Amino acid sequence: MAELEQRGDLTPAPSAWEYAEAPESRDIVKLEERYGLFVGGEFVEPASGEYYETIDPASEEPLAEIPQAGPEDVALAVEAARDGFANGWSAAAPAERAKYLYRIARILQERSREFAVLESLNGGKPIRESRDVDLPLAAAHFFYYAGWADKLEYAFPHRRPKPLGVAGQIIPWNFPLLMLAWKIAPALAAGNTVVLKPAETTPLSALLFCDVLRQAELPPGVVNIVTGDGRTGAALVKGDVDKIAFTGSTEVGKAIQRELAGTGKKLTLELGGKAANIIFDDCALDQAVEGIVNGIYFNQGHVCCAGSRLLVQESIYEPLIEKLKRRLTTLRVGDPLDKNTDVGAINSRQQLEKIEELVAAGKEEGAEIYQPPCRLPEKGYWFVPTVFTNVAQSYRIAQEEIFGPVLSVLTFRTPDEAVEKANNTPYGLSAGVWTEKGSRILWMAERLEAGVIWANTYNRFDPASPFGGYKESGFGREGGRHGLEPYLAFDGVEASGG
C-alpha cells in the first residue's frame, strides 16, 4: 500500500496541467430579484409573507428571494389543482394532454442552454452534466410520457385506468429539473393535476419551468409549484391530495409513510441507497475504472443510486486501486460553469458538513484515506474526490449514505461473497457488475437485492426503464410503463406498485 502511495506521488499529476478556462456565460439566465408561488397559472405572493434567499453554492452569492409557502399557501395550491382537475384536465381527450406534454418537451429542448446554466448556478453541478445529462433526460421524459397519454388502455388492458386526482410531489436537490420531469410527466400523462415542492436549496429551475408551462399554454391549475423548506413539504403531505410522490432521504420518507398510514392516500417513495459496484477479475479494467469514477463522482456523488461501495475481487485489487488513484488525479474540481469541470460544488453547507462528519468517522474507525492533490476555490462548498481503502463492513462509511464524492473500497474472493457483502445494507436501490461473463451477470442479477442493476456500465438512465428500490430504498417505480401505474386507479382493482 505504501509502495502504491509512493508511485502515485511520482506520477506527474495532470491536475497541474494548464487548462484554458472555458466558462459558460451566465448571461442567458435572467433572474428575478424575488419570485412568487405558481398557483392557478399565476405567480402569487405567499400568504405567509415569508421569503428566504437561494444561493449559488459555488460562490455563496445570493441569487434570488424565494417564498416560504405556509400551510395556507399549500392549501390554495391544492385547491387550484383540484379546480384544474375538475375544469377539464381529467376529462380532456388523452391526445390533447399528449400535445401539451410534447410542447413542454420541445420547449425544454429549445431552452436547454438556459436551463442547464441555471441548474449549475443554483445546484453546483458541472455544466457538462446539466447540459449533457439533466436537460436531455428531462426533455426525454416528457416526450416519452406524451407517447403514453393516449395509450393507457393499451398499457393496462381490461383494467380501465383512471386518474387519481391531485398528486402532491416532493423532490430533492440533486437533480432538480430531472426529478421534476420524472414526477410531472407521468402524473399529467395519466390525467392528474399536480402540486410540486422543489427542494429548499434548488428552487430556481422549477420556477423557470413555470415559464415553460405558460409558453405551452397549459391550462391553469394543472401544475402548481410551492417553494419552501421541509415544513412546506409536511404541509403538502397533510393537504387534501390523493397521492404523494416523494424522493429524498429515508428518514423523511418514513415520516411521510407514518403520516399517511390509514388515510387511503397513495404513496411512492424513492429514498436513499448505498450501492455496490462489483468488479470481477475478468473485467475490462480500464473501462471499469471509468465506470467506478462515473459511479461515484458524477454529480459530486449526490446521487441516490451512486456506486458508493466498491467491491473488488482480491486478485485485481492492487492494479485496480492504482489505476483508480491515477484517474482521480485527472479529475478537475471547480467552477460548475466551466466546461472542463468534472466535479462541481457540494450543494449546501449542510450537506458539506454531513460529508465531513462521515469522512472523519471513516478515518477514526481506521480506514485509509486517499485524496488527489487538488486546489479548491476559496469561497463556496467543496469536497475533494476521496477513496477509502481498508474499509470494514461495519464502518459507518460502508453502511451510511454519504451522498458526496466519497468511495469506500471493500474486497471479496468469490461471487457468493460479493453477493453477501453487496446485500449487507438496509438499502436496495441499485448495483453494478463488471465481468466478461454474461452468465455471471445474470447469476449476480438474480441474487442482488436492488431495483436497478447495471452490467459493465453505471448511472445509465432512460425514460423507458423503470427505476426504484427495495427495502429502505423505498417502493414504487418511476419511468417506463410501470411509472404510470402509481398515478392511476383501476376499475375495481387496486393499483399496485404505489
Give 287-324 as a DSSP string.
HHHHHHHHHHHGGGG--TT---EEEEEGGGHHHHHHHH
Query: SS3 of 40, please?
Result: coil
* Burial grade of 303 (CB within 10 A; 0-12, 13-18, 19 or more): buried
Angle between helices 71-84 and 230-238 (to 10 degrees): 50
Residue 271 near residue 253 (C-beta atoms within 8 A): yes
Q: How far is the CB of 97 from ligand NAP (least distance, A)?
A: 26
Please report whether residue 170 would count as binding ligand NAP according to CB under 6 A: yes
| For ligand NAP, the closer CB: 123 or 191 | 123
- Paired sense of beta strands 166-170 and 243-247, if any: parallel
Rule CB under 6 A: is residue 57 a binding residue for ligand NAP? no
Tell me which stretch binds ligand NAP (CB under 6 A): 74-82, 142-150, 248-256, 408-416: 248-256
Interaction between residue 55 and ligand NAP (CB under 6 A) = no
Q: Which of 270, 400, 472, 478 is catalytic?
A: 270
Quick one: 163 or 248, whose CB is closer to ligand NAP? 248
CB of 247 or CB of 435, closer to ligand NAP: 247
CA dihedral 350, 359, 415, 456 (to 10 degrees): 60
Binding to ligand NAP by residue 480, rule CB under 6 A?
A: no
* Pairwise CA distance, residues 78 & 48, whole Å: 16
By CB under 6 A, is residue 234 in contact with ligand NAP? yes
Which positions ≥6 away from 15 have C-beta within 8 Å? 329, 330, 331, 332, 372, 373, 374, 375
Residue-by-residue DSSP string for 317-366: HHHHHHHHHHHHTT--BS-TTBTT-SB---S-HHHHHHHHHHHHHHHHHT
> Per DSSP, what are the bridge partners of residue 56?
61
- Give the three-state DSSP class for 237: helix
Stretch (H or E) spanning 64: strand 61-67
DSSP string, 447-472: H---SEEEES--S---TTS-B--SGG
User: Site mask, ligand NAP, residues 398-437, x = CB under 6 A?
Assistant: ---x-x----------------------------------
Name which of 79 and 472 has its Cβ closer to ligand NAP. 472
Does 304 qualify as catalytic in the annotation?
yes
495 binds ligand NAP (CB under 6 A): no
Whichever of 229 and 365 has its CB closer to ligand NAP, that residue is 229
* Rounded Cα distance, 135 and 115, in Å: 7
Residue 238 is a binding residue for ligand NAP (CB under 6 A): no
Among 220, 233, 415, 463, binds ligand NAP (CB under 6 A): 233
Closest CB to ligand NAP among residues 228, 498: 228
x/- contact string, 356-395, with ligand NAP (CB under 6 A)? ----------------------------------------
Task: In angstroms, give the least distance from the CB of 453 to ligand NAP.
Answer: 17
Residue nearest to ligand NAP (CB): 233
- As separate numbers, helices (DSSP H) first and strands (DSSP E) second, the chain gives 17, 19
Site for ligand NAP in 171-200 (CB under 6 A): 171-174, 197, 199-200
> For 261, what's the count of Cα atoms within 13 Å in the CB-facing half-sphere?
6
Residue among 304, 472, 478, 485 flagged as catalytic: 304
- Of the residues 15, 109, 215, 249, which one makes contact with ligand NAP according to CB under 6 A: 249
**Largest Cα–Cα distance of the chain, in whole Å?**
71
Subset of 140-159 contacting ligand NAP (CB under 6 A) = none
CA separation, residue 2 to residues 5, 7, 9, 318 (Å) = 5, 9, 11, 12
User: Which one among 160, 254, 327, 354 touches ligand NAP, defined by CB under 6 A?
Assistant: 354
Q: Would you say 195 and 168 are in contact if contact means Cβ atoms under 8 Å apart?
A: yes
- 38-46, 247-255, 337-345, 358-366 -> range binding ligand NAP (CB under 6 A): 247-255
Give min distance, CB of 271 to ligand NAP, in A: 5
- Of the pair 216, 244, the CB lying nearest ligand NAP is at 244
Amino acid letter for position 445: A
Tell me the site size for ligand NAP, rule CB under 6 A: 27
109 binds ligand NAP (CB under 6 A): no
User: CA-CA distance, 491 to 131, in Å (whole number)?
Assistant: 42
305 is catalytic: no
Stretch that binds ligand NAP, among 81-89, 161-169, 252-260, 367-375 (CB under 6 A): 252-260
Q: How far is the CB of 473 from ligand NAP (least distance, A)?
A: 8
Q: Catalytic residue numbers?
A: 270, 304
Which positions touch ligand NAP (CB under 6 A)? Answer: 170-174, 197, 199-200, 229-230, 233-234, 237, 247-249, 252, 255-256, 270-272, 304, 351, 354, 401, 403
